Amino acid sequence: MLQIGEAQQKVLEEIPVLGIERIHIMEALGRVLAQDVQAVRNVPSSDNSAMDGYCVIHADLVGANSANPKRIRIIGESPAGRPFTGVVLRGQAVRIFTGGTIPTGADTVIMLEDTEKDGDDIICLNDPGLGAHIRPEGEDVKGGEVVLHRGDIVRPPEVGMLATLGHAYVYVYQRPIVAILSTGDELVDLDEPFTKGMVLCSNSYSLAAQVMECGAIPLSLGIASDSADDQRSKLSGGLRADLILTSGGVSVGKYDLVKDTLTDLGMKVKFWKVAMKPGKPLVFGSLGGKPVFGLPGNPTSAMISFEQFVRPALLKMMGHVNLFRPLMEATLAEDVNISAGRLHLVRCKLFDRDGELIAITTGTQSSGALRSMVLADGLIILPPEKAPFRAGDRVKIQSLHTNSPLSPESHY
Ligand code: AMP
Ligand code: MG
């Protein structure tokens, strides 16, 4: 049986990066840039003031202090957006405000707090040094510089930078459409009558939510029964998607027909079964050039298999460079027994004990127990060759969050 890392590699080798599209920067949050972004001009576009105060010629302030104040005549003002158009000469000052353009002739800003006003003059009580409080033209970005790069994720700062550089539109990688089919005679959908013994189809929804969390677009194909005909006809509605996901029916039972149905439709099986728990009976293949994942039906197995294989695949399609969740180290709060032969991914809660990250399991690890996912902050990665695992052991955790479980005191 394939190890999880080998299987991941086989998946990623098959996954294409999608094409590109041009979108508005307000649509671009979380997307990956498909272009470099070059500045056409300097930012800021002129020397401007970092403070409220007066701009002056530094030579007029040399030696100024409270015992030896310097008197300078105010000749105008230069608020942000309305530059002073005259020239500052020796003995002259222009009132300036944060962001105001430094007028020709001036070379220094003295803060308001270091001056006293006396009629049309200011009394300067110190020498802030040549060039003080001036933000020079091009301090942030020089014209011609490549500021953002293909492969960068668009976060709020990138949105701001794109706007600063004058870009309303930008090229990003496309988002894949992901067809999702749930299979099983026992499944009913939310709008169907429920009778005892049936199972509400949660996978269509949890998987669609995982797809959306990655930034991709889910396309629901509904529920197919454990019949090859029904599965074929429902799947045919998803063949134009960029990636196909099924859940259920990939194990070895009499009613596990999904792998055969997909093969009949033309899927080439790349692998079936991975040495992991939960999630062993995963099938991965390629159908008409599109990647297909047959995920196991158990709600937790489906979600964890998605995390290990589908999420990195979708991120690669969307141009991401970093494809995996953050790894952390934590201390086990309890003994954890695992069976031989498979890498275990144990749902855990994380908490902070005096700056040390502690992992405690979420209780029953049954593959059907969706609550173990609801409670989980992460997955404890337990390789069978390192068993047994005892309270106090240091273990690797795959985070399921992007935020840290550490308390604020541990951060600063
Ligand atoms: P299977 O992989 O088809 O053998 O299904 C394994 C278990 O997962 C069974 O108990 C199914 O009832 C359950 N299951 C399968 N598909 C779903 C689904 N879409 N939503 C919730 N549970 C499911
Ligand atoms: Mg089934």
Q: What's the CATH fold of domain 48-135?
A: Molybdopterin biosynthesis moeA protein; domain 3 (2.170.190)
Q: Residue 129 C-alpha to ligand 2 middle, in angstroms? A: 77
- Please tell me the distance between residue 248's alpha carbon and the centre of ligand 1 in angstroms: 5
Instruction: pLDDT tens for the chain, 412 residues: list them.
Output: 999 999 999 999 999 999 999 999 999 999 999 999 999 999 999 999 999 999 999 999 999 999 999 999 999 999 999 999 999 999 999 999 999 999 999 999 999 999 999 999 999 999 999 999 999 999 999 999 999 999 999 999 999 999 999 999 999 999 999 999 999 999 999 999 999 999 999 999 999 999 999 999 999 999 999 999 999 999 999 999 999 999 999 999 999 999 999 999 999 999 999 999 999 999 999 999 999 999 999 999 999 999 999 999 999 999 999 999 999 999 999 999 999 999 999 999 999 999 899 999 999 899 889 999 999 999 999 999 999 999 999 999 999 987 888 888 877 8
Question: Does ligand 1 have an atom closer than 6 angstroms to the CB of 298?
Answer: yes
Nearest residue to 290 (alpha-carbon basis) of 4, 6, 20, 15: 15
Using the atom order of ligand 1, give the atom closest to the CA of residue 202.
20
Q: How far is the CA of 224 from the centre of ligand 1 (A)?
A: 12
pLDDT on residue 368: 87
Question: What spacing in Å lies between the alpha carbon of 184 and ligand 1's midpoint?
Answer: 7
User: How far is 114 from 126, CA to CA, in rounded Å?
Assistant: 6
- From 185, 187, 189, 258, the mutation candidate for ligand 1 (largest count of ligand atoms within 8 A of CB) is 187
Residue 132: its pLDDT value, please?
98
Question: Measured from the CB, is residue 184 less than 6 Å from ligand 1?
Answer: yes
Q: How far is the CA of 259 from the centre of ligand 2 (A)?
A: 12
Specify the CATH number of the domain 327-410.
2.40.340.10
Closest to 282 in 3D by CA, of 342, 369, 339:
342
Find the ligand nearest to 186 CA.
1
Ligand closest to CA 197: 1
Q: Which residues pair with 339 in a beta bridge?
A: none
Fold adopted by 20-43+140-173: Molybdopterin biosynthesis moea protein, domain 2 (3.90.105)
Q: Given this model, what pLDDT does residue 401 score?
A: 86
CATH code, residues 4-18+175-317: 3.40.980.10
The confidence score (pLDDT) of residue 359 equals: 98
Pocket of ligand 1, candidates 188, 194, 203, 301: which has the most ligand atoms within 8 Å of its Cβ, to mutate?
203
**Residue type, position 358, single letter:** I
Instruction: For ligand 1, say whether the CB of 185 is within 6 Å of any of its atoms.
Output: no
DSSP letters spanning 296-364: -SSHHHHHHHIIIIIHHHHHHHTT-S--SPPEEEEEESS-B---TTSEEEEEEEEEEETTEEEEEE-S-
Specify the ligand 1 atom closest to the Cα of 204. 19
Verify whether ligand 1 is closer than 6 Å to residue 312 (CB atom): no
- Quote the CA–CA distance of 145 and 136 in Å, as a whole number: 16
Q: Report the DSSP pairing between strands 343-353 and 276-277.
A: parallel
Instruction: Report d(CA 219, CA 246) in Å as an integer.
Output: 12
What gap in Å lies between CA 123 and CA 107, rounded to an integer? 18
pLDDT of residue 407: 81
The rounded distance, in Å, linking the Cα atoms of 293 and 284 is 5
Residue 390 amino acid letter: R
What ranges do the domains of the chain cover? 4-18+175-317, 20-43+140-173, 48-135, 327-410
- Residue 365 alpha carbon to ligand 2 centre in Å: 20
* The ligand 1 atom nearest the CA atom of 182: 19
Q: How far is the CA of 297 from the centre of ligand 2 (A)?
A: 6
| pLDDT of res. 46 | 97
Please name which of 246, 241, 274 lies closest in space to residue 261, comparing C-alpha atoms.
246
Q: Name the residue with the closest Cα to ligand 1, atom 14.
A: 297
Per-residue DSSP letters for 3-29?
-HHHHHHHHHHHPPP--EEEEEGGG-T
Distance CA 91, CA 89 (A): 6
User: Which residue has its alpha carbon closest to ligand 1 atom 15?
Assistant: 297
Which numbered ligand comes closest to the C-alpha of 248? 1
Q: How far is the CA of 201 from the centre of ligand 1 (A)?
A: 8
CA–CA separation, 182 and 89 (whole Å): 79
Residue 296: CB within 6 Å of ligand 1?
Answer: yes
Cis amide prior to 388 (ω within 30 degrees): yes
187 lines ligand 1 (CB under 6 A): yes
Element holding 271 (H helix, E strand): strand 268-272
Q: Is 279 in the pocket of ligand 1 (CB under 6 A)?
A: no
Report how far ligand 2's centroid is from the alpha carbon of 121 (Å): 87
